[in-house]
Structure 1
Amino acid sequence: MTSKEIRQSFFDFFESKQHTIVKSGSLLPDAPNLLFTNAGMNQFVPIFLGQANCPYTPGRAADTQKCIRAGGKHNDLEDVGADTYHHTFFEMLGNWSFGDYFKKEAIDWAWELITDVWGFPKERLYATYFGGDEKSEADLEAKEFWLRYLPAEQVVPGNRKDNFWQMGDTGPCGPCSELHVDLTPEGNCGPGMVNADSADCIEIWNLVFIQFNANADGTFAPLPAKHVDTGMGFERACSIIQCTKNFTDFSGVISNYETDVFSPIFRTLEEMSGKTYGSAMTDPVDIAFRVIADHIRCLAFSIADGIIPSNEGRGYVLRRILRRAVRTGRILGFKDPFFYKLTDIIAETYGDVFPELRNNQDRVKKILKAEEDSFNRTLDRGIVLFDQVASGLTGKTFPAEDAFKLYDTFGFPLDLTEVMARERGIAVDAEGFEKLMNEQRKQARADHANKKSVVLVEDENLDVDASEFVGYEFTKCETEIVEVLESGAIMLKETPFYPESGGQQGDHGEIKGNDFGFKVTDTQKTPDGIILHIGEMTFGAAKKGEPVLASVDRYRRGQIRRNHTSTHLLNAALREVVDGSIKQAGSMVASDYLRFDFNYFEAIKPEQLRKIEQVVNHQILRNTPLETLEMSLADVQKSGDIQAVFDDKYGETVRVVNVGNFSKELCGGTHVEATGDIGQFRIVSESSVAAGVRRIEAVTGMEALAWTAEEHELLSNISQSLSVKPADLPERIKAMAEQAKAAEKQLKELQMKAAVSNVDGLADQVEQVAGFQILAADLGEMPMDALRQVLDRLRQKIESAVIVLGSASEGKACLAASVSDDLVAKGVHAGKLIGAVAKIAGGGGGGKPDKAQAGGKDGTKVAEAIAAVTGILNEMHG
């Protein structure tokens, strides 16, 4: 049976048992505590918890669920490629009963499918059941059901770890039964190998019987409705059926990777790399095939579901996996981007069952290529650093400082460095690495605190209640001082001042008493909810318990409100115009501008930016009233249309800001009453801030009007200077650019001709050094392509020599070297030589033994670098 036939036969079987075949849930889970969907039951949790009605009649369903286990509690990443069955991405086949059938039917149908439909040999099957412990009785009911099909020695009791399922410390739970398969060549593993973590006897199907509710005191109460939740690894089922040739031969390797689930990917990789997959467990090439094949499935399915590689949360897990695959590609000889090209075979292989792969094929490919391009720029340099450190080790531990440098400078996640270290038989100082990471985080927090003048109150032994914020309704209120800190910051019983939070800057204003005045220049909030009014005393002295009038700077607050509401409109417009999967990656709402960071793989096109502006301004013109309401976090998650960064931590009750049907977001900030209050919205820049993260900056209100006026004035000045109408400027500038380009080309041609014409003169400057001929020359101002052409002419003219040429171009150094074949045979290496020479000009480079080039930051150092060539050669070969 092919994998497609196996999957379809599963669907057909349960459809014949009145199950609704349900589409796989997204890999992006609704639950905020999950990085990825990691089990088949994730999409059905609301039904199990009674938060949603079962939509299936009868209450039966079956599916294949996309799952990822990489990061967080469930993490199989490090085992991928090293064995036959671990994956970051896999499919989980499952059948479900929501208060309908229970143990007997679940066991009967499992047996029927496994033995009658798929033909598993009955003598090789073992069933397990919960054997009981001090908390719960044994599941003798399940045991008896299995004994109808199997002899007693093949029905094995299991402990709580293996045969009792719980969603958490409290909530739905129950015993489970598993089917295990004896994979030994002779079929004689025996019951002792069941649940013994042996590859010779593996679990194929787990049947969970959800019949209790776990209470906080550790007791279990019967549920009013009983459910069935089963899970079978699709890849594992395929491996047993296909690798044993439909159960006729158990003597070979039984591996998920030896099935037609992976063989199309392997064939594509073989065509791309020219290497052959050989199935060995320890061969680096075979491991690389398995790692890449696994990782492309994980990345393609994730991105198709809207999860984009980034620097945080689940996005960072994907970035780690991608970078691991790209680096592994070096083992197969890939120097240029290759990983994204595998997108097509994934869409072709899985597109019938998961159409989202075909629907998003081009988008997945673009995102992967952008990520790969970004990492490729530093990958080789990182590998060189790793090799240098690893080769020079006297012990078996890779230093934490170098692992941290690989992470901080070259983007190597720690686990990637650990993989490279394991290949050399060494370990990485992970504890030291984590210490350095913590120091960096601590420094970053300190820097942020210094910039924002955050008042640290931990050592002041404060015993005050959290401040009551009344700033949504009022910008001025009468209140009293509850504390004056030694630093001068003031705490109030009630306050209209909004503290910096969620990217929105804190309010400014003033606090006045009978005998003092205090200018508020920043508002912050401690983790305990105490709002700190930071600033300076303008006269008098504030005292605890004194009644005061607290007044927010209303003009500045108005600017911030316009920018904050505009941030919400921008977020919605981005998803409408560019990509519905865009997620917020950060924001800043200031009084004079707004900044919005988001996960995306390429620059937003100018025409898209214009469209975004139009969409936002259209919403402004509609003058839509804003609505704020409080909701439970559970209701927000079920709504499906409220935007939130669910990696953040929220309380049980959250505040939602609605702008008609256009934008719905979780937000605690201050906003305009209606969109018309914003006035105007203008985008002033779009840029990259990190790999996979873009940034848009914009202005609103009077700042937007000022920006438009400045643009108009600039345009008018340029059109007057060039004596053309503003509408004709693009054509005029294009013509000027073409003229400049032609002049530059002509200049380069003249430089090249002049340089080439001087080849004979240069050849006469050959000297004898260290027993061989050397020519080292500074050619003045010349681009790299001209320098290489001169080098090629000299190589033809001088049969045996080391040639090093240098020039300056646009302030930078250009260097190139050549070594004739006879001198290469004597150990002279052009790449090593040019690397040492380039350091003098503030650069680096390398290349092959016979030919290499390099660049340097300082073009004024070319003469010094060329003068040092003789000495460097003497050191290397004297």
Structure 2
Amino acid sequence: MQTAEIRRRWLDFFERNGHTVVPSASLVSDDPSLMFTVAGMVPFVPYLSGLVPAPYARATSVQKCIRTNDIEEVGRTPRHGTFFQMCGNFSFGDYFKEGAIRFAWELLTTSEADGGLGFDPQDLWVTVYEDDDEARGLWREIAGLPDERIQGLGKDTNYWSTGQPGPAGPCSEIFFDRGPAYGVDGGPATDDDRYVEIWNLVFMQYRIADVRSKTDFEIVGPLPKQNIDTGMGLERVAFLKQGVENMYEIDQVRPVLDAAADLAGKRYGENEADDVRLRVIADHVRSGLMLIADGVTPSNEGRGYILRRLLRRVILSMRLLGVDGPAFERLFPASRDAMKAAYPEVERDFDFISRAAYAEERTFLRTLGAGIQILDEAVEQAKDAGSPLSGDGVDAAPLIGGATAFLLHDTHGFPIELTLEIAEEAGVEVDQAVFATLMQEQRDRAKADAKAKKGQRADVSVYRELRGLGETAFVGYDELVHESRVLGIVVDGRPAPAAHEGDIAELVLAETTLWAESGGQDSDQGVIVGDGFEAEVLDVQKPVPGLIVHTVKVAIGTVAVDARAETRVDADYRRGAAQAHSGTHIVHAALREVLGPDAHQAGSYNKAGYLRLDFTHGEALSAETKSEIEEVSNLAIRSDYEVVTREMGLDEAKALGAMALFGEKYGDRVRVVDIGGPWSRELCAGTHVSSSAEIGMINLVSESSVGSTNRRVESLVGLEAFRDLAAERAIVQQLTSGLKVPRLELVDRVNDLAAQLRAAEKKIAKLEAAKLAERLPALVDSAERLGGFAVVTASLGTVGSADDVRGLVLQLRERLAAEPAVVVLAGVVAADDGGAGKPVVIAATTPAAREAGAKAGALARLGAQVLGGGGGGKDDLAQGGGSDPAKIDEALAGIRASLAG
């Protein structure tokens, strides 16, 4: 049974049984505490927790999910995947345990001919929470399961909670027995791969508090409504129904695995190490495809970093399979074709998806080359250092430091497996103990950081009752001042009856004119005033859907629940914010006009006087292109286009050609903003000017890269744009006055001065080099015999650059080329700002010296260590540096002692 067919049967079954079919939410979670949608229930959390009234009594979905916490298990077990699909059915105060168990059993065991999944009841086991006698009894009654196939387990496996105070409850899991060929008998309690969990039923019935750990908390009472949250793993059911060994071999994944095997010239099933790599490739390519389809692009932070890590693991796995060149042009189309039946958008948006993926592959292949160069140098250094003695006094293999392995992993994206393999081929080992220590320290820092960030967020359950009073109405499109009523106050994360002068508090009102940060637009500034109080607005956010929360500092008096309150938006700030938001639309349209329709917005941020816009484009913009974009934008402003906002259905808006920003999520009703009619027509809920002339001016101040396929432009808007240009005008006036040239001749005059400066610098460099060259005869005569070598060492004092030292070293080596000679010179490179200079040491060896064992790289490193720095290079020429010029003589003495020994 194909995966898409299992998905269809799931949705059809629950729709027939009164459930509303809810489309999959984006992989990018709306929950600020989550980077991705990690479970099928995530989009329903506001309803399950009671924060938001559920719009339906029953719902079902097949939700796209991403999890990377078990990424090291991918490819090694039959069921771990970073991307997976969770089939869920949910009840919000409707049916409970009996209904959930009855639905699950019916769908699983009904024959395929009758629309079910056709599992044999004899192959199914269930687990229940050990104290949940009700669930145990229902499984006996509904499924007819004998007691030995109903196993009771503890809180660590069969009790669900978020890990925070709030809803919780026991759960029951359904397992498929793959048979004795896959492991020992004894049921799911054996925790063996023989028993595959395919369905989890969570009975959300209690409220917990005083949560000390996953298994240690207090049950403080029943929930007002008992809810059901269940999930069936689509990939797990698919591999069982398709008769394959694991999720990587199902119809939605196997084509990528086969394409990778073909590229590598491998046969799947012949070598377990290769098979693991092929399964990793198949999983990660599919995950990358789906993440980019939901608007995530590779970057060095957040979601983009996770995507980058997945893609780079694919490239490294291909390398370990023997493929050094590009592979994505074979792998991504294979994944697209396997997934498009369930997700048509991967075919519709494949041009964008493929550009992002292929650019990342090209970039990392270049990075990989640099990393291998570092590793090659580390191998050479390990061999130079020789073999350390093992604990029993026997020579061990040369050792690469764990810090170097960690640097390769953390900075250059090298997994430790690749470092170990290359090291083994070179006959050296890696200090894995130090590497493991550094990795653990990094994990501990990440956990501490995540915990700190989590602690900074208020528990959203505090807003449950407030959201239950209804949505906060935003009336700020048409008015800046509006009288409303205080519905609730939160102080220090807890509900409060009032907030007093000096308090920082959160106010929830029935209506507000203050814009809450969203859609790329920063929150409004303003005040909230009432009878006897005034509060300065510090921030406005939407912590849960439909609820606007104002963070304020009470400046005067006391504000209490039920008090009348007037929201007053700072008119100047709102005008600037509206200029910037409309300016963002203008710049986006100008980009598309100049660069072409492929230049899509990929993110934005705007506030009064400033806008930032990220867009898809693979190369830097030339000065001429930036100027053209700026001119098109300002021509649109001069044209005084009318700005029209309309609310309509999403399908109607798309039919009109309104641009839906890639990766954004929209409801059934949307707001369309036209500037100049179809010239700029986008879906947008933000605040805008009424005509383009009100924007005033667009002044593009920067353009930069934010990823392999994304660029960023930043612009000042309106009065801020004018002020910046006025500041530049003042600078030009100062320069023309100081240089005594007309403005139109200023550039030529500055260029002439720069050319004169470069010429003077070259002349000075020649004089310094000549001065050093005068010391050549004396340095040759200073050669001393140490350990069979002619050795020249000297401190040159202050020098213009390291190149000056290198030039003299090479001349000396040439004079001594007929014998085994070593030249090591040091100097202090003068700082450009007149501050303390940095010491440099450069070593060179003649061919006869190298044959006798002298290596310039080892000597440069030795000297640099004394100077408080590092260095290295090849056997014939190497350089080191440091931070302590006072130790130059000590460094040279150490090098002479090493050669003498």
Q: Decide whether the 8 Å contact of 2:256 with 2:331 is kept in 1.
A: no
Amino acid at match of 1:489: A
Amino acid at match of 2:413: F
- Give 1:797's match in structure 2, choosing from 807, 815, 818: 815
Which residue of 1 is the match for residue 762 of structure 2? Answer: 745
| 1:382-401 Cα deviation digits (max 9, x unpaired) | 88789999999999xx9999
Distance between the aligned counterparts of 1:752 and 1:293, measured in 2? 59
Which residue of 1 is the match for residue 826 of structure 2? Answer: 806
Q: How does 1:118-267 map to 2 (within 5 A)?
A: 135-138=109-112, 195=244, 233=255, 256-257=262-263
Q: How many residues align?
A: 664
Which residue of 2 is the match for residue 112 of structure 1? Answer: none
Q: Decide whether the 8 Å contact of 1:300 with 1:343 is kept in 2.
A: no
Which residue of 2 is the match for residue 437 of structure 1? Answer: 446
Distance between the aligned counterparts of 1:171 and 1:459, measured in 2? 29
Deviation at 1:569, TM superposition (A): 2.3
Which residue of 2 is the match for residue 310 of structure 1? Answer: 299
Deviation at 1:140, TM superposition (A): 11
> Cα–Cα, structure 1 residues 823 and 441, in superposed 2: closer, same or farther, change >3 Å?
farther
Which residue of 2 is the match for residue 867 of structure 1? Answer: 890
Deviation at 1:729, TM superposition (A): 2.9
Distance between the aligned counterparts of 2:420 and 2:858, measured in 1? 25
> Cα–Cα, structure 1 residues 282 and 758, in superposed 2: closer, same or farther, change >3 Å?
farther
- Asked whether 1:545 is paired with 2:562, we answer yes
Q: How does 1:685-700 map to 2 (within 5 A)?
A: 685-688=702-705, 694-700=711-717
Which residue of 2 is the match for residue 469 of structure 1? Answer: 474
Q: Decide whether the 8 Å contact of 2:659 with 2:682 is kept in 1.
A: yes
Distance between the aligned counterparts of 1:533 and 1:419, measured in 2? 51
> Cα–Cα, structure 1 residues 294 and 462, in superposed 2: closer, same or farther, change >3 Å?
closer
- Asked whether 1:838 is paired with 2:828, we answer no
Amino acid at match of 1:562: Q
Give the match's secondary structure for 1:746. helix
- Asked whether 1:782 is paired with 2:800, we answer yes
Distance between the aligned counterparts of 1:782 and 1:368, measured in 2? 41
Distance between the aligned counterparts of 1:179 and 1:549, measured in 2? 62
Distance between the aligned counterparts of 1:346 and 1:233, measured in 2? 9
> Cα–Cα, structure 1 residues 740 and 406, in superposed 2: closer, same or farther, change >3 Å?
same
Which residue of 2 is the match for residue 606 of structure 1? Answer: 623
Q: Decide whether the 8 Å contact of 1:323 with 1:375 is kept in 2.
A: no
Q: Decide whether the 8 Å contact of 1:620 with 1:679 is kept in 2.
A: yes
Which residue of 2 is the match for residue 223 of structure 1? Answer: none
Q: How does 1:638-677 map to 2 (within 5 A)?
A: 642-646=659-663, 654-659=670-675, 660-677=677-694
| 1:95-139 Cα deviation digits (max 9, x unpaired) | xxxxxxxxxxxxxxxxxxxxxxxxxxxxxxxxxxxxx99533255
> Cα–Cα, structure 1 residues 804 and 326, in superposed 2: closer, same or farther, change >3 Å?
farther
Distance between the aligned counterparts of 2:514 and 2:738, measured in 1? 50
Distance between the aligned counterparts of 1:389 and 1:641, measured in 2? 61
Amino acid at match of 1:676: A
Give the match's secondary structure for 2:559. coil
Amino acid at match of 1:786: D
Deviation at 1:478, TM superposition (A): 0.9
- Asked whether 1:595 is paired with 2:612, we answer yes
Q: Decide whether the 8 Å contact of 1:834 with 1:845 is kept in 2.
A: yes
Q: Decide whether the 8 Å contact of 2:320 with 2:418 is kept in 1.
A: no
Distance between the aligned counterparts of 1:404 and 1:445, measured in 2? 28
Deviation at 1:616, TM superposition (A): 1.5
Greater mean alpha carbon deviation, residues 300-309 or residues 510-519: 300-309
Deviation at 1:558, TM superposition (A): 0.7
Q: What's the % identity of the aligned pairs? A: 29
Q: How does 1:610-621 map to 2 (within 5 A)?
A: 610-621=627-638
Give the match's secondary structure for 1:526. strand
Which residue of 2 is the match for residue 816 of structure 1? Answer: 842
Distance between the aligned counterparts of 1:289 and 1:514, measured in 2? 69
| 1:216-261 Cα deviation digits (max 9, x unpaired) | xxxxxxxxxxxxxx9994995x99xxxxxxxxxxxxxxx62478xx
Deviation at 1:552, TM superposition (A): 0.9
Amino acid at match of 1:439: A
Deviation at 1:280, TM superposition (A): 11
> Cα–Cα, structure 1 residues 483 and 288, in superposed 2: closer, same or farther, change >3 Å?
closer
Distance between the aligned counterparts of 2:666 and 2:401, measured in 1? 39
| 1:280-314 Cα deviation digits (max 9, x unpaired) | 96999x99999999999999999999996434688
Distance between the aligned counterparts of 1:503 and 1:467, measured in 2? 20
Distance between the aligned counterparts of 2:528 and 2:358, measured in 1? 57
> Cα–Cα, structure 1 residues 839 and 400, in superposed 2: closer, same or farther, change >3 Å?
closer
Deviation at 1:517, TM superposition (A): 2.5
Q: Specify every segment of 5 or more residues in structure 1 that has no aligned partner in the other structure, as ranges.
A: 1-29, 36-68, 89-131, 142-157, 181-193, 207-229, 240-254, 263-276, 348-353
Distance between the aligned counterparts of 2:405 and 2:771, measured in 1? 49
Query: TM-score scaled to structure 1, two decimals?
Result: 0.59
Distance between the aligned counterparts of 2:402 and 2:451, measured in 1? 18
> Cα–Cα, structure 1 residues 631 and 710, in superposed 2: closer, same or farther, change >3 Å?
same
Greater mean alpha carbon deviation, residues 357-366 or residues 312-321: 357-366
Distance between the aligned counterparts of 1:302 and 1:459, measured in 2? 30
Give the match's secondary structure for 2:678. coil
Distance between the aligned counterparts of 2:587 and 2:606, measured in 1? 12
Which residue of 1 is the match for residue 3 of structure 2? Answer: none
Which residue of 1 is the match for residue 855 of structure 2? Answer: 829
Give the match's secondary structure for 2:752. helix
Q: How does 1:466-615 map to 2 (within 5 A)?
A: 467-484=472-489, 485=491, 487-491=503-507, 492-527=509-544, 530-578=547-595, 580-582=597-599, 584=601, 586-598=603-615, 600-615=617-632
Give the match's secondary structure for 1:577. helix
Q: Decide whether the 8 Å contact of 1:520 with 1:534 is kept in 2.
A: yes
Distance between the aligned counterparts of 1:79 and 1:682, measured in 2? 49
Amino acid at match of 2:864: A
> Cα–Cα, structure 1 residues 287 and 844, in superposed 2: closer, same or farther, change >3 Å?
farther
Distance between the aligned counterparts of 2:290 and 2:543, measured in 1? 41
> Cα–Cα, structure 1 residues 384 and 469, in superposed 2: closer, same or farther, change >3 Å?
farther
> Cα–Cα, structure 1 residues 482 and 314, in superposed 2: closer, same or farther, change >3 Å?
closer
Query: TM-score scaled to structure 2, two decimals?
Result: 0.57
Q: How does 1:630-641 map to 2 (within 5 A)?
A: 630=647
> Cα–Cα, structure 1 residues 718 and 674, in superposed 2: closer, same or farther, change >3 Å?
same
- Give 1:734's match in structure 2, choosing from 751, 771, 785: 751
Deviation at 1:586, TM superposition (A): 4.4
Deviation at 1:789, TM superposition (A): 1.8
Give the match's secondary structure for 1:744. helix
Which residue of 2 is the match for residue 850 of structure 1? Answer: 876
Deviation at 1:607, TM superposition (A): 1.0
Distance between the aligned counterparts of 2:803 and 2:583, measured in 1? 49
> Cα–Cα, structure 1 residues 842 and 493, in superposed 2: closer, same or farther, change >3 Å?
farther
> Cα–Cα, structure 1 residues 586 and 294, in superposed 2: closer, same or farther, change >3 Å?
closer
Give the match's secondary structure for 1:464. helix
Q: Decide whether the 8 Å contact of 2:295 with 2:602 is kept in 1.
A: no
Distance between the aligned counterparts of 2:412 and 2:461, measured in 1? 38
Distance between the aligned counterparts of 1:304 and 1:457, measured in 2? 31
Q: How does 1:302-381 map to 2 (within 5 A)?
A: 309-311=298-300, 316=305, 319-320=308-309, 323=312, 380-381=373-374
Amino acid at match of 1:849: D
Provide the aligned C-alpha RMSD in A.
6.4
Greater mean alpha carbon deviation, residues 709-718 or residues 309-318: 309-318
